[in-house]
Amino acid sequence: VLSASVQRKFPQEIKIELIERTPYARIKFEKIFLVDNFGVILSEEKPEHRHLPLIKSPKGIKPENFSGEKVIQSLKTMHYFNKLSFFENNPLDIAELKGNSRIIFFTRNRDLQIQMSLEALTEGFKKFMIVLDTLEDDNLKIQRIDLSFKDQVVVRDRISSHSTLKIQTN
């Protein structure tokens, strides 16, 4: 229950209002759980919610030690990325938390990864917009974009894993 209220109306009426928490995403520990848009764990995953984005928590984190703040920030960032036409046919649908400071987003086809710093998600999104402006139409060859560095972006090409492009963002 997200909220509940009880109101007495004279002469003989009581109005009860319940607002239920709704699943917003899934989070994977040893099992997969549903979380709401506040990061509160609701229940174990149900088949009808498999379409929701998946967050993979760092190894060793248990549901009882879970703080939803980073998950909600990650989901919001994923949402903003998916609004871009770049992701129209291949949206981000998995976010993997790496330790306390990094996150890696994966597209539905698993052909593109975007790595970011959890402490600088807004700045990372701005850097991604710069990368989009510098890329040519042949963007399907990109395997990984690392936005976690302070003043540069590293773009790794899928064709040659040794081929990288560094873009200064300062």
Q: What is the DSSP string of 66-100?
A: --SHHHHHHHHHHHHHHTSGGGSSS-EEEEEEETT
Q: Is the previous residue joined to 63 through a cis bond, with omega within 30 degrees of 0?
A: no
Residue 107 has pLDDT above 60, yes or no: yes
Residue 101 has pLDDT above 90, yes or no: no
Residue 161 has pLDDT above 60, yes or no: no
Residue 115 has pLDDT above 80, yes or no: yes
Q: Residue 90: pLDDT band by 50, 70, 90 thresholds?
A: very high
Which residues on adjacent β-strands are paired with residue 61? none
What mean pLDDT is predicted for residues 54-72?
77
Short-list 134, 152, 154, 132, CA closest to 143: 154
Helix (H, G, I), strand (E, B) or coil at 150: coil
Amino acid sitting at position 19: I
Torsion angle, alpha carbons of 156, 160, 161, 167, to 10: -20
How does DSSP classify residue 128? H
What mean pLDDT is predicted for residues 156-163?
65
Summary mean pLDDT of the chain: 85
CB atoms < 10 A from the CB of 29, how many?
18
Separation CA 17–CA 4 (nearest Å): 6
- Upper half-sphere CA count for residue 46 (Cβ side, 13 Å): 8
Give me the pLDDT at residue 166, please.
62
pTM of the model: 0.79
Give me the pLDDT at residue 140, please.
55
- Greater pLDDT, 71 or 49: 49
Short-list 105, 103, 123, CA closest to 113: 105
Amino acid sitting at position 85: S
Give me the pLDDT at residue 93, please.
93
Separation CA 162–CA 165 (nearest Å): 10
